[in-house]
Amino acid sequence: MRTRSLREGRTRGKMEIEFDAEGLLAVARQRSGLDDFGDPRFHEPLRRLLHSLTHEARLSDAGRAMQYERVVGNLVTRLSAEAFIALHPEILEEEIIAPAVIIGPTRSGTTRLQRLLCEDPRHFAVLWWENRCPVPLPGTDWRGADPRIPQAEEEVRQTLEAAPELVAIHPWDPHGPDEDALLCEHAFLSHVPESSLYVPGYRDWLQDQDQTPGYEFLARMLRILQWQKKQRGEHAERWVLKTPQHLGFLPDFCRVFPDARIIQTHRDPCVTLPSAASMFSALWKLTSNEVDRRAVGDQVRNRLALDLSRCLAFRDSQPTDRVFDIWFEDMQRDPIAELERIYHWLGTPFEPRTRRDLDAWLVQNAREKRPAHRYSLEDFGLEEEDLKQHFGAYRRRFILTRPD
């Protein structure tokens, strides 16, 4: 059995990376000194991802090293999480009650909405630095600065240095709320790889799989994070989660979080898709010197078409009040009024201090403070008429005519 996945390449005189499952598992055990990876259902998704990284991703040397470290890091997190729960078994008693989950197409305002809602201390969020390293480092003093934060700050700095165009596309904040798909990534059931890599085999396999194991792992990680927040003196009424990935897997998500409150953002795919493709192509450039923009365009179109069709089917099977709808244009025009509507639906009082905090956030985080994001359909081989056909049912229901 091979136990090394990073070895000295004799012919080229440099480190040669092999995406070998057994070797990666062995490295993670060696780095952590631990052996329990928890739920074994991650092995098949891991194997599928490694196959795509090896045979499809067209990784640069830097990209291979980055993905190697990312996979090992995810495995080490699994090991650390199980060890931390064994040390603090009361973590599993933490209750995740009626989380609000924001879903919607990429570039439809999900990030802004989550960050606004999470200005309210009554709402927990998965912060970017918690996403990247959800298990506390040994010797953490809950009364002081967390040592994981400087690591996250440096990772964001390096990312934006390597791809400065990302500054215009997305508000990168190592301290702010971010997508819980990064936690699902530790279960290797996540859209994160396809957003930053060309991995069509893994993507196509993933979209037909039961995502319950990934969401069960997510719930486990939320309990770990909730326990930590309480150690820091933080208390809240509910989590506010956000990931476009959940659009296509709502039955699986609700199987694990049956009392979830679902908030869906809406924006015309003819507008969101080239913006999403621009963001993904910038991320792909971090790991590959061969980025096919047409392939990026095809991927974001096909993924969103599938996810929205599944979302519509889920909604047709549910009570009409199961999902709260909010439109991008309304949030742009009067975000405070839209947030008041959300609070009313959640049954949470919209307090004067909440209004003041949100007003201050909107001024501090005005979009015009970041560079303009420029893109076009043609950049990614997308055509407006084709998109109108792909998304006809969704556009008729939520874009061309507004439901009462």
Q: Is the pLDDT of residue 43 over 90?
A: yes
Q: For position 350, what pLDDT does the model report?
A: 96
**Backbone torsions φ then ψ of 367, nearest 5 degrees:** -60, -35
Q: What is the mean pLDDT of residues 236-241?
A: 97
Dump the DSSP string for 63-88.
HHHHHHHHHHHHHHHHHHHHHHHHH-
Q: Is the pLDDT of residue 96 over 50?
A: yes
Higher confidence at residue 271 or residue 366?
271
CA-to-CA dists, residue 266 to 121, 247, 296, angstroms: 26, 12, 22
User: Are the CB atoms for 283 and 196 separated by under 8 Å?
Assistant: yes
> Using 50, 70 and 90 to split pLDDT, how confident is the model at 6?
very low
Q: Are strands 323-327 and 123-124 parallel, antiparallel or unpaired?
A: unpaired
- With pLDDT > 70 as the criterion, what percentage of the chain qualifies? 94
User: Are the CB atoms for 174 and 152 separated by under 8 Å?
Assistant: yes
Q: For position 369, what pLDDT does the model report?
A: 59
- Domains in the chain, start-ordered, CATH in brackets? 6-398 (3.40.50.300)
Q: For position 107, what pLDDT does the model report?
A: 85
Q: Is the pLDDT of residue 13 over 60?
A: no
User: Are the CB atoms for 36 and 79 separated by under 8 Å?
Assistant: yes
Q: What is the mean pLDDT of residues 1-13?
A: 38
pTM: 0.92
- Strand locations in 197-289, DSSP E? 238-242, 261-266
The closest alpha carbon to 38, from 203, 218, 249, 202, belongs to 218
Angle between helices 110-117 and 335-346 (to 10 degrees): 70
CA distance 249 to 252: 5
Q: For position 106, what pLDDT does the model report?
A: 85
State pLDDT tens for residues 170-216. 778 889 999 999 999 999 999 999 999 999 999 999 999 999 999 99
Q: For position 159, what pLDDT does the model report?
A: 85
Number of H helices, E strands in the chain: 19, 7
Q: What is the mean pLDDT of residues 113-126?
A: 96
CA-to-CA dists, residue 33 to 24, 30, 39, 136, angstroms: 14, 5, 18, 16
Q: What is the mean pLDDT of residues 325-332?
A: 95
Length of the chain: 404
Q: For position 375, what pLDDT does the model report?
A: 75
SS3 177: strand
CA distance 71 to 290: 21
Q: For position 11, what pLDDT does the model report?
A: 36
Q: Are strands 6-9 and 14-17 parallel, antiparallel or unpaired?
A: antiparallel
Q: Is the pLDDT of residue 262 over 90?
A: yes
Return the minimum-mean-pLDDT range out of 59-68, 155-164, 201-210, 270-279.
155-164
User: Are the CB atoms for 225 and 110 separated by under 8 Å?
Assistant: no
Q: For position 3, what pLDDT does the model report?
A: 36
Higher confidence at residue 138 or residue 352?
352
CA distance 203 to 245: 12
Q: For position 140, what pLDDT does the model report?
A: 85
Q: What is the mean pLDDT of residues 4-27?
A: 67
